[in-house]
Amino acid sequence: MTTLNPLAAIPFRQRDRMTYFIFLMVPAVLYVAAYIYPTIETFRLSFFEWDGFSPPEYIGLENYWELLGEPRFRNAFFNNLKWLVFYLTLPTVTGLALALLLDAELRGSVVFRTIFFIPFTITTVAVASAWRWMYKPSNGVMTQFVEALGFDAPNWLGDPSINTYSIMGAALWAWSGFTFLIYFGGLRALPTELIEAARIDGAKFWTILFKIKLPLLWPSTIVVLGIAAVDSMKIFDLVWAMTQGGPYRSSSVLAVEMYETSFVMFKLGQGAAVAFVLLVVASIVVMPYIYHMTRQVDEVKE
């Protein structure tokens, strides 16, 4: 008797492998098409001078040399570093503080939880618009608040020495909801018996925080710091929507430079060079996180 199923002739183990292979092919193809190919193509484009219409001209490393000599590029790079320091510290500490506050079972904590998380759900451009209004030089809420306290309000978005920090204020408001949520979830998952035992032994709040809670919250911290590092490198929308990198490029970041160079100045080759530098810098920043996460997965496997 002959079988109707052609796969029946294939050994079970081989069939099993084939199934894995087919299932893995889908994400692999998508990954190659949507990420690997564009990355290679961007890298290739960075060696050309191209306005998008005329035929591209090969110019070797010239785009990279030009970037190194550009003050605007160095300024944007420096601003990205500021964003990195900001993302790794302020929203992390704020989220943790809010989570600790609400973990103390305050009355109305459900309402506060919602209030703290809502900013994170608002789209970035809306956040930028709202904060632009608040930062308006003559009648913005922030301006009036500072003036009501008897101080001269700064030109929040127009003063090059502070405008990046002003944008960070908006980012802090929006991003802390996320860090709060991660830490709050982490706090709720901590084994209560450890904390209770410490309390019975007479440990104070700070001792419990630094000796028990924070070490146990390390996985949450890793998640927060990893995502924060990635976000600090790819920051674009908030800066673009609030200042477009100005005035006179003072608040610009690498992603803004990439966009401006490619789509405002139509120097697509040089824009690709900025993109590739951004990718390399982001990889260096994010690599420790990836390494740590991979090691954790390996430990779980063992």
Partner 1 sequence: MNGVFAKLRTGLAAAALASTALAGPVSAQQVKEFWHYLGAGGELEGVEGMMEVAKSKIDEEFTHRVVPGGSAGLRQQVQVSLMGGVPPMAYQVSAGLELNQLAQSGRLVPLTEAWEQINGDEIFPEGLIQVISYGDEKYGLPFAMSMLGNTWYNKGIFEELGLEVPTTWEEWDEVATTLEENGYVALTSGGGSAAWTIYQFYAALFDAAGADGYWEFVGGMMPLDDPRFVEAVDLFEAHFVKYFDDEWTGGVWSDGLDRLMAGEVAMYNMGDWASGYMRQRGWTPNEEYSFFPAPSLQNVTIFQSDVIVVLKGEETDLGMKFAAAAASPEAQQAFNAAKGSIAPSNEIDPSFYDPIAKMEYDKLVSEDAIVLPNLYVLMPSGFKEDLGNAFTRFGATKDRAAFDEELARLEEMRKEMYEAGEFGTF
Which tokens hold the place of 190? 């901590």
Query: Restricting to residues 146-185, which ones interact with partner 1 according to CB under 8 A?
Result: 155-159, 163
Residue type present at position 126: A
Size of the site for partner 1 (CB under 8 A): 33
Kindly state whether residue 115 participates in binding partner 1, applying the rule CB under 8 A. Answer: no
- CA gap 302, 300 in Å, rounded: 5
* Region from 46-54, 88-96, 192-200, 291-299 binding partner 1, contact rule CB under 8 A: 46-54
Kindly state whether residue 264 participates in binding partner 1, applying the rule CB under 8 A. Answer: yes
Q: Using the minimum distance from each CB to partner 1, give the nearer residue, 159 or 237.
A: 159
* Region from 11-19, 25-33, 171-179, 238-246 binding partner 1, contact rule CB under 8 A: 238-246
Kindly state whether residue 243 participates in binding partner 1, applying the rule CB under 8 A. Answer: yes
* Region from 123-131, 174-182, 201-209, 261-269 binding partner 1, contact rule CB under 8 A: 261-269
Contact 237, 125 (CB under 8 A): yes
Kindly state whether residue 144 participates in binding partner 1, applying the rule CB under 8 A. Answer: no
* Region from 4-12, 24-32, 182-190, 262-270 binding partner 1, contact rule CB under 8 A: 262-270
Query: Restricting to residues 50-89, which ones interact with partner 1 according to CB under 8 A?
Result: 50-56
Q: Using the minimum distance from each CB to partner 1, give the nearer residue, 124 or 232.
A: 124
**In the complex, minimum distance from the CB of residue 127 to partner 1, in angstroms, rounded to a whole number:** 17
* Region from 15-23, 133-141, 200-208, 285-293 binding partner 1, contact rule CB under 8 A: 133-141
Kindly state whether residue 247 participates in binding partner 1, applying the rule CB under 8 A. Answer: yes
Residues of this chain that bind partner 1 (CB under 8 A): 40-41, 44-45, 50-56, 135-138, 155-159, 163, 243-244, 246-249, 260, 263-267
